[in-house]
A and B are shown apart, each in its own frame.
Chain A
Amino acid sequence: MVKMVKHLKAVGKPSASPGSLPLLTLEHGAIPWLLAVALATAGPHAAHLPWWLSLLVGGTLLWRAWLWQQRRPLPPRWALVLLVIGSIAAIAWQFGTLLGKDAGVALLVVFMALKPMEMSSRRDALVVVMLGYFLLLTHYLYSQSIPTGAWLLAAIALLTAALIRLHGGAQPVATILRHALLLLAQALPFMLILYLLFPRVAGPLWGLPQDAYSGLSGLSEEMSPGTISRLTLSGAIAFRSRFAGEPPEKSDLYWRGPVFDEYDGHTWRARALPAKAAKQLPVVAGIGAPLAYSSILEAHNRRWLLALDIATRLPPDSALAPTLEALAREPVRVRTQFSFASSIDYRANVIEAPAILQQALALPKEINPRTRALASEWASRPPEKIAAAALAMFRNEDFYYTLRPSLLGPNAMDEFLFDSRRGFCEHYASAFVFLMRAAGVPARVVAGYQGGELNPVDGYLVVRQSDAHAWAEIWLAGQGWVRFDPTAAVAPARIEQGIDAALPAGEPLPMIVRLDSDWLRQLRNRWEAANNTWNQWVLGYNPQRQREVLSRLGWRDPDWRGMSASLAILCGLALLLVTLWTLPRRLAADPVQRAWQKYCAALKRRGIPRAEWEGPLDFAHRVAREKPDLAALTNEAAGYYAELRYGRRASNGQLLRRLQQCVRRLPPRRRKHS
């Protein structure tokens, strides 16, 4: 077993003082681990980095691997400096800045790719690992999904293994990985305790860079032909809702987003209201029992909360706008849960501000003459009849509901209504509103989502971007704002069954929406339900949720002092456990010694203690003299012990067992009072 000294891993420098980092040269065998660290932490960023950067990273890492394999010297320092400066300049040119999320990540990636090129000491290697930690963190700026979480564990295991290789010298890869996983397993309890109890602070601590929330999708603040149909191409989830009772019919699920009341001939916008009208509170009366539900909104960086039409009870820090949509005080920038109550039957703003009604009649001058002519034919009728006539036209004449409408010119409504007749919901809604306004009926376009799909796994109604929709609203005296959905007249299946039923097979709908096979759909449901749980319990664990969880555990009103104290106590306990776990079984001394001591203790109880200095055979002789009845057995035990301890059969399991059995073979003690 004697391993010869791995002599003098010669340290040129005299021994380091405590805490200083020895300038050890990096072992050749440690370099692949560090390259793997660089690849694992920088590699996944390729998904959102400019292609040339990914190419640079891949190229340098390959180059470094080749240099390693050929045992060639590293490139000169000046070449690296040139490369770094060039990369920084290219990043500045690409992103327009060096600050901000994307540019910052790109810089980190460049450093990570180039650091291995000048890696010669253990300190350089540590810098690579620390950079790796940073890069891992930056992944979560882009995605915090379950796979990213799993990647976290795998990457940390790799980084830990690299550190072990760095400090422990050459070992088999499996040994290193096993050790790394052991360390991780022991670190997990600490992570859980800290995750649960570390006092959470609601961010952000300072202003975030402008691109912090880029890339969030959802409805936008204006609508032109194509806005909604483009959104429909995404199967991403917009929000999930859970109703306290039965969810209503699909055709009643109109989730209200922005309201557009200004039209310039191409684009619909929400007009800033005059101050007086903006101050007027909407008057909403629900008919029938209100439906209670809560929605988990994905971040979309807008204020609207997409409540079911029409919201009668709103979550804190939100209000109903004069145009009846629920608005939060701040844009929704993280996935958040909101609780509402809504009434499907309602009367809203039976008395409306004149400014709003006036705006609901405004049209750009002199465009769409044919549409205006048609509307003026209807103008003499009562408003309900006008709306009915428009819907009847959509229903009876050959209008097509399609994601691929024809392009429209300056007189868009004329072209759509009389020539192309192919359009998506935004075309129908805007044509309907144009007709109404031309006929003198106050009308406006409402955007939002329609429908949703119940996930039977967790009971949440899932609403996707592909459920985005636009409909119309007209104001009727005595009834207030009444919803009309011209799409329902053209393609009733859209409202009743959903977009995948309403569009013919050739339309470019996302795969995830159009799952024909049952088991695929089920798989998707399970995956999305798992994601939902993950979102709520892992990602949505904010200060508020922390308080909820702790009070559910029976801790009322936890404050940060109490949390810190219990955090310290629990971490201490975990530390103790880990220490006990790793503590060498020191007391598990020699089993031979233990068995012999046990035998001697048994004899002591029988009135013949062994003296400290007495050897086994001497002791056996004395026993033979003083207690002849125990002589034979003691002689045997002493013989085994002497053989095991000093003889040639030092590690003989059979002998040991026999020695252990001697204790059991002792005759029972005579009781004095039996």
Chain B
Amino acid sequence: MNLGPHADFIIASYAVTLFVVAVLIAWVVLDYSTQRRTLGDLEARGITRRGRRKDQA
């Protein structure tokens, strides 16, 4: 594939797009694992959204 005299501009465009999309995907995936872990820790301590479970009080 010949990208011609402006190959740098084309490659830079695809590289920037790939980088931004990769950052978005990493943000969503890491955020999900952080929230799941924190939620799991709180539930393990008996905390619910309506207060502490009776058996843990």
| A and B together in one complex | no
The interface of chain A, by Cβ under 8 A from chain B, is none
